Structures are given as C-alpha cells and as structure tokens.
C-alpha cells in the first residue's frame, strides 16, 4: 500500500466500494474519509451488476403510501413499518441526488424518467439507467464523483480482516494489502461490504461477496438480524456459468411469461402469476423443477422484437450461452440473489457496537422484512447513506493507538458453499439445517481461511433452525405455515456457537432450540 497510514488515522473508514459505500463517502464530504475497496472501484461490486433499478414513487398515478403498501405486502408481515415508510418517502429525492451527481437515467423523448414495472409493484416505479445496466451506470456516475472529491481517499486492493475493539467501542481496522498487514486507527467504521452470494453454489452475485461484513461485525460482538431471510431470484440463466447471469424481472414486467418444457404457464394458478412476489415465483419454479420439469422464460411475443434493445446485457448473456431469445426459450432456475438479513441497524446505520455503522445489503434496517420488494435495495442504499453519513459526522472520531497488525488469512468460502447450498436453499427443513450446523461448527471455531465464511453460515443456519415457521423467503417444509405472530430475529456469534455446540453434543437438540 503506497500510502501514509498514520496521516489518515482518525478519519472515518468506509469498508466497501459499492453504491452504499460511495454514497456514504460523498455525503460525508467535505469531512476527510478513507474508503477501502478489495478491488478497483466497482470491479467486483454486486451494485455494478444490478439490472433492476431503483424503486421510487415518481409516476403521476403513484404515491409513497402505495410504495409503502407494496413493500409491506412483499415483506410478508415482517417489515419494520417505520423504516419502510421513511425510505418510501425519501426515495424520490434520492433519485434526484443521483441525477445531480451525474447518473444518466433512462428518459422518455420528452425528458421524463422512464418508469418500469417489476413483480409485486402496483405501479410503474422502477427507474433504470442504460436499460438493464442500471447498476453499471449508477456506479459509473458515483465512481466519477468520488474520484473528483479530494477529501475522499480511496485505497484499492485492501481487504479489512478484523475490527479492533477497545472497551466495547471500535478502535481500528486490521487490513491486508499487497505489502502485508496494516492497522488503521479509527473510532468510526462504516461497513458497506454487500452480501453473501459467494457462500452459495448458485448465485447471481460476484463470488467475492462472501459475507465479510457480517463476519467483521459478528466477531466485534455486533447483533445481527433476520439472517434466515435470503432471497432467491427465480430467473437466473440455467447454464454452466458461475456466477449465474441474471434474467431481470423487468422482462416479466414487460410481459414475458414462464413456461415449462410443454409450453405450459405453470404459474397461471398463482395469484399475480409471473408478477407475484419474488419468493412465491422462486418457490413455484423450484417446486416445478423438483418434480422433474424444466422452466423457461418466453420473451418471443413480449417484449418481442424490442427485447435486445431494451435488455442488452441479458441479450448478450443469452448469446454467449448460444440462446437466441427471438427464437428460443431461455432456461431458468432460482439462484441466491439478495440477503434481507444483516447487521442490525437503525435508519442511521448504527449497530449495537459503538463506532460501527452499516449501510446497504450488509445492514438490516427492517425495510425488506421476509422478502425484499424488487429494486428497493439500491433505493435503500442511496437513501440510508445520507442518514448514515449524518450520524457518522455527528459522532466523535478517535481511535486506538497505532499497533502491529497480525497477518490474517483471506476468507475462503469454498468448504462452506456446498453446505449452505444444500441446507439453506429455496426450501429448508430441520434435518438439513442441523446437519449443516454440525458441519459448520468446527470450521467456524478454527482460525483458518474458512472460519469467517463458516461463522456467517452458522449464524444463518441457527437463525433458520430457530424460525419454526414459513414466511417470505424462508420456507420450512416441516413448518409450512406462518406463526401466529411475526417477529424479527436477532442473533450474535456467541449465541450461534453456543446453540451449535449444544446441538453437536445432543443429537436431538431439543433443549437448545
Ligand atoms: C431484477 O432485475 O430482476 C433484479 C432487481 C432486484 O433484485 O431488485
């Protein structure tokens, strides 16, 4: 790392260079801030891959109350209604913020924002950029804005490995860079590390996102929330490529249908059919595949001739897979796509550890409940980044004394992937979850490369075991109904380890769970 670390001591440190991290840095300006990114900015961020856009009630027929109602309905009783209301009301201004920062949204010939439809939205309210390249365009605009802001020091190729905690508060970041380990003294850390796609075999996300932020926070003692709620996108391109190319829901918004090998629209009996909430569509596709059928998207009639122009990224992925969507059906299967759970935060991003904030997918504000409404996540990242920055700016700086940093191994999620993929997919059950917990425990307890991914997997597994109901994206075949009362869940690493140890020592686990 060709930088003077001591000179940067005391600045807030943002870990992660996706939309949440970049927006937080921009909102903090002119306060000097240090932004750490594992890769060149934007190169491996799931933000860059986002095809769907940002949800905001901007249409003449729309209203934040309608956006709120759709968010709560998709969230299946588990949303924090206050968080959802505040985000829905702040969303239109967040789109203006992005436009002011130079993001070029798709517009009508008259200059109005072009609004798309996605599943479970009662109105057209998805703002796109570059057709299905929304994330790429938003990142282009934000990276340019960050690079031209002199108070934001961006350091690429640096990976945070551990958070230092003194007297219960954050005192620094232990990081690794090309020249070795380094300690960054700071009393203010913002985690914006994204999600957990790299913990699964089938995902639409960069494999480098394997829950690092969750591990950093959990090992610092933070409380995590709703970890069992993992969204599976119903229409990933079913082929050999990993990660799996996403076939955006916006295509179904334009009329594409889901059919099986006989041409039957097997979702027709489901309320909302192809535009039902994502968990419902994913389960229907999964169940159909489990019965030996195949599933396809049919775009030949709708969107039809405009498909390749409207969705150039997807058209290119199809072409690479040898599929001509004008003629062929597109094979699909569900794949891990988004994590509703995360580090428990309030809307200012404050975690349970003083000096630690979280923003974006790594955080759990309660907005998404048990099932995220499509395109609400980029909106949440942009909206909350402002509130996080205000909270960080109002907090005292400080940080620990310069210290030697140990050389900690880079996380290796490979031993964890098959375990989570088997036990924590579209459907779950007691036996599968217990088997995963027993296998993850020894991995999580060792100080090896798989320990952090395993610790994250273990917390998710125990949260899923404890939720003995089906709700939103968490479907238990052994508890197929809602519990009488919807409750958000909370867990710490210590609690997950204790439950798993009890499980390992008593095969029945009845006392622990
Ligand atoms: C999609 O384009 O289908 C994904 C949008 C999202 O995940 O919000």
Tokens of 326: 């004008």
Ligand 1 binding pocket mutation candidate from 235, 375, 379 (most atoms within 8 A of CB):
375
212-242: burial string, b at 16+ Cβ within 10 Å, e else = bbbbbbbbbbbbbbbbbbbbbbbbbbbbeee
Cite the active site residues: 278
Residue 226 lies in a domain: no
Residues 21 and 169 in one domain: yes
List the beta bridge partners of residue 181.
Answer: 176
C-alpha 498 to ligand 1 mean position (Å): 36
Give me the residue label for tokens 């003294």: 185
Q: In sequence order, what are the beta bridge partners of 127? A: 54, 115
Residues 159 and 67 in one domain: yes
Please state the separation of Cα 492 from the chain's center in Å.
19
Beta bridge partners of 298: 257
Residue of 477, 471, 479, 504 lying closest to 77 (CA atoms)? 471
Indicate whether 215 belongs to any domain: no
What is the count of structural domains for the chain?
3
Token readout for 242 is 């990993």
Average pLDDT over residues 206-223: 97
Within this chain, do residues 383 and 317 fall inside the same structural domain, yes or no? no
257 with 359, same domain: the answer is no
Contact 250/311 with Cβ under 8 angstroms?
A: yes
- Whether residue 331 is found in the same domain as residue 372: no
What DSSP string runs through 71-103?
HHHHTTT-S-HHHHHHHHHHHHHHHHHHHHTT-
Share of the chain above pLDDT 70, in %: 97
Regarding whether 308 and 348 lie in a shared domain, the answer is: no
Confidence check: pLDDT of 2 > 60: no
User: pLDDT, tens digit, for every residue of 172-194?
Assistant: 999 999 889 999 999 999 999 99
Q: Which two tokens mark 356?
A: 């630690």
| 225 inside domain | no
Confidence check: pLDDT of 495 > 70: yes
* Pair 116, 44 in one domain: yes
Which atom of ligand 1 has the smallest separation from the CA of 132? 2
Distance CA 292, CA 454 (A): 32
Atom of ligand 1 nearest to the CA of 372: 8
pLDDT, residue 1, reads 42
Domain assignment present for residue 128? The answer is: yes
Task: State the pLDDT at residue 169.
Answer: 96
Residue nearest atom 4 in ligand 1 by C-alpha distance? 52
Atom of ligand 1 at shortest range from CA of 247: 3
Q: 460 and 415, same structural domain?
A: yes
Clarify whether residues 164 and 76 are in a common domain: yes
Among left, alpha and beta (phi > 0; psi -120 to 50; other), residue 11 is beta
Q: Is 380's C-beta closer than 6 angstroms to any atom of ligand 1? A: no
Residue length of the chain: 513
Tell me the CA–centroid distance for residue 234 and ligand 1, in Å.
10
The verdict on residue 402 lying in a domain is no
Q: CA 148 to CA 448: how far, in whole Å?
A: 39
CA distances from 128 to 125, 219, 273, 329, 430 (A): 10, 37, 23, 25, 41
Tell me, yes or no, whether 245 and 130 share the same domain: no
The angle that helices 134-147 and 81-100 make with each other, rounded to 10 degrees, is 70
233 contacts 251 by C-beta, under 8 angstroms: no
Residues 34 and 152 in one domain: yes
As a three-state string, the secondary structure of 438-450 is HHHHHHHHCCCCC
Residue 210's pLDDT is: 97
Regarding the beta carbon of 364 and ligand 1, being less than 6 Å apart is answered: no
Classify residue 404: in a domain, yes or no: no
Radius of gyration of the chain (CA): 22
Expressed in angstroms and rounded, the spacing between residue 257 Cα and the centre of ligand 1 is: 16
Residue 404 is classified by DSSP as: P
Q: Which atom of ligand 1 is nearest to the CA of 52?
A: 2
User: Which range is least confidently modeled, 344-353, 456-465, 481-490, 499-508?
Assistant: 499-508
The protein residue with its alpha carbon nearest to ligand 1, atom 8, reads: 375
C-alpha 249 – ligand 1 centre gap (Å): 6
Task: For ligand 1, pick from 19, 48, 52 the residue to mutate: most ligand atoms within 8 Å of CB.
Answer: 52
304 and 346 share one domain: no
**Strand bridging mode 490-491 / 363-364:** unpaired
CB of 46 within 6 A of ligand 1: the answer is no
Q: Rounded to whole angstroms, how far apart are CA atoms 60 and 62?
A: 6
Cα(478)–Cα(469) distance, rounded to whole angstroms?
Answer: 8
In a domain, 428, yes or no: yes
Ligand 1 proximity of 51 Cβ (cutoff 6 Å): yes
Q: Decide which of 349, 365, 393 is a domain's last residue.
A: 393
- 374 pocket-lining for ligand 1 (C-beta < 6 Å): yes
Q: How far is the CA of 54 from the centre of ligand 1 (A)?
A: 9
Q: Which domain holds residue 304?
A: 236-335
Do residues 133 and 312 touch, judged by C-beta distance below 8 A? yes
Q: How far apart are CA 46 and CA 337, in angstroms?
A: 10
Q: Looking at 16-20, 40-44, 162-166, 424-428, which range is the least confident one?
A: 40-44
Protein residue closest via CA to atom 1 of ligand 1: 248
Q: Which atom of ligand 1 is nearest to the CA of 55?
A: 8
What is the chain's mean pLDDT, rounded?
95
**Rounded-to-integer distance, Cα 410 and Cα 451, Å:** 10
- What is the structure's pLDDT at 404? 73
Task: Kindly report, residue by residue over 47-82, the tens digit of the pLDDT.
Answer: 999 998 999 999 999 999 999 999 999 999 999 999
User: What are 500's two structure tokens?
Assistant: 């798993």
Domain final residue, candidates 350, 366, 393: 393
* 159-166 and 224-225 beta bridge pairing: unpaired
User: Domain of 274: which CATH number?
Assistant: 3.90.700.10
Please state, in angstroms and rounded to a whole number, the distance separating the CA atoms of residues 443 and 247: 34
Cα of 247 from ligand 1 centre, angstroms = 9
Q: How far is CA 199 from the centre of its chain?
A: 12
If you measure from the C-alpha of residue 50 to the centroid of ligand 1, how many angstroms do you get, rounded to a whole number?
Answer: 7
* Cβ neighbour number for residue 279 with a 10 Å cutoff: 27
Tell me if 52 CB under 6 Å of ligand 1. yes
User: What's this model's pTM, rounded to 2 decimal places?
Assistant: 0.96
**DSSP states of 341-384:** -EEE--TT-B-SSTTEEE-GGGEE-SSSTTSPPTTHHHHHHHHH
What is the DSSP annotation of 466-513?
H--S-BTTB-BTTB-S--SS----EE-HHHHHHHHHHHHH-TT-TTT-
501 has which bridge partners? none
The pLDDT value recorded for residue 507 is 62
Residue 192 confidence (pLDDT):
98
* β-pair partners for 116: 126
The answer as to whether 200 is a domain residue is no
What does the pLDDT average to over 463-491? 98
Residue where a domain stops, chosen among 314, 335, 356: 335
Is the C-beta atom of 134 inside 6 A of ligand 1? no
Peptide bond into 311 cis (omega under 30): no
Q: Is the CB of 248 inside a 6 Å radius of any atom of ligand 1? A: yes
Each residue's pLDDT tens digit, 115-144: 999 999 999 999 999 999 999 999 999 999
Q: Give the per-residue pLDDT at 52.
A: 85
State the pLDDT at residue 4: 54
Lowest mean pLDDT: which of 70-74, 148-152, 339-343, 507-511?
507-511
* Nearest one of 230, 235, 257, 255 to 245, comparing CA atoms: 235
Residue to mutate, 18, 361, 374, 473, ligand 1, most ligand atoms under 8 Å from C-beta:
374
463: domain CATH number is 1.20.58.100
Residue 374 CA, ligand 1 centroid: distance in Å: 5
**pLDDT tens-digit series, residues 347-393:** 999 999 999 999 999 999 999 999 999 999 999 999 999 999 999 99
Whichever domain contains 124, its CATH number is: 3.50.50.60
For residues 488 and 340, give the distance between their C-alpha atoms in angstroms, rounded to a whole number: 11
């Amino acid at each position: 790392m060709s930088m003077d670390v001591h000179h940067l001591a005391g600045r807030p440190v943002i870990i992660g260079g996706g939309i949440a991290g970049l927006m937080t840095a921009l909102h903090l300006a002119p306060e000097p801030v240090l932004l750490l990114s594992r890769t060149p900015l934007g190169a491996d961020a799931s933000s860059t891959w986002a095809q769907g856009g940002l949800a905001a009630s901007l249409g003449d027929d729309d209203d934040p109350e309608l956006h709120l109602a759709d968010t709560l309905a998709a969230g299946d009783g588990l949303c924090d209604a206050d968080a959802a209301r505040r985000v829905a009301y702040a969303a239109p201004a967040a789109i203006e913020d992005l436009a002011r920062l130079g993001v070029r949204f798709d517009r009508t010939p008259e200059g109005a924002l072009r609004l798309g439809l996605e599943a479970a939205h009662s109105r057209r309210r998805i703002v796109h950029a570059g057709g299905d390249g929304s994330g790429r365009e938003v990142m282009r605009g934000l990276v340019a804005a960050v690079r031209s802001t002199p108070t934001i020091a961006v350091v690429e190729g640096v990976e945070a490995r551990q958070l230092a905690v003194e007297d219960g508060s954050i005192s620094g970041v232990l990081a690794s860079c090309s020249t070795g380990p380094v300690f960054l003294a700071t009393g203010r850390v913002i985690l914006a590390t994204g999600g957990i796609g790299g913990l699964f075999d089938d995902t639409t996300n960069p494999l480098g996102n394997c829950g690092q932020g969750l591990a950093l926070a959990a090992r610092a003692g933070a409380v995590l929330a709703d970890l069992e709620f993992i969204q599976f996108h119903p229409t990933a391109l079913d082929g050999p490529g990993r990660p799996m190319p996403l076939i955006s829901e916006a295509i179904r918004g334009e009329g594409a249908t889901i059919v099986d090998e006989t041409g039957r629209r097997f979702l027709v009996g489901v309320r909302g059919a192809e535009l039902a909430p994502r968990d419902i569509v994913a389960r229907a596709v999964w169940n159909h595949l489990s019965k030996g059928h195949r599933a396809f998207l049919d775009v030949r009639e709708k969107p039809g001739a405009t498909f390749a122009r409207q969705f150039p990224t997807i058209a290119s992925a199809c072409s690479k897979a040898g599929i001509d969507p004008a003629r062929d059906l597109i094979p699909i299967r569900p794949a891990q796509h988004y994590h509703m759970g995360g580090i428990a935060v309030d809307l200012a991003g404050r975690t349970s550890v003083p000096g630690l904030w979280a923003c974006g997918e790594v955080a759990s504000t309660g907005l998404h409940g048990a099932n995220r409404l499509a395109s609400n996540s980029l909106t949440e990242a942009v909206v909350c980044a402002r509130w996080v920055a205000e909270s960080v700016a109002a907090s005292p700086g400080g940080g620990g004394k310069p210290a030697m940093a140990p050389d900690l191994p880079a996380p290796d999620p490979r031993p964890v992937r098959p375990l989570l993929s088997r036990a924590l997919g579209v459907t779950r059950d007691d036996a599968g979850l217990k088997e995963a917990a027993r296998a993850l425990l020894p991995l999580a307890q060792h100080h090896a490369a798989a320990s952090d991914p395993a610790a994250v997997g273990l917390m998710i597994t125990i949260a899923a075991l404890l939720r003995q109901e089906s709700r939103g994206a968490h479907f238990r075949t052994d508890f197929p109904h809602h519990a009488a009362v919807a409750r958000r869940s909370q867990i710490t690493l210590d609690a997950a380890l204790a439950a798993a140890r009890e499980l390992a020592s008593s095969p029945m686990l009845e006392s622990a769970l």
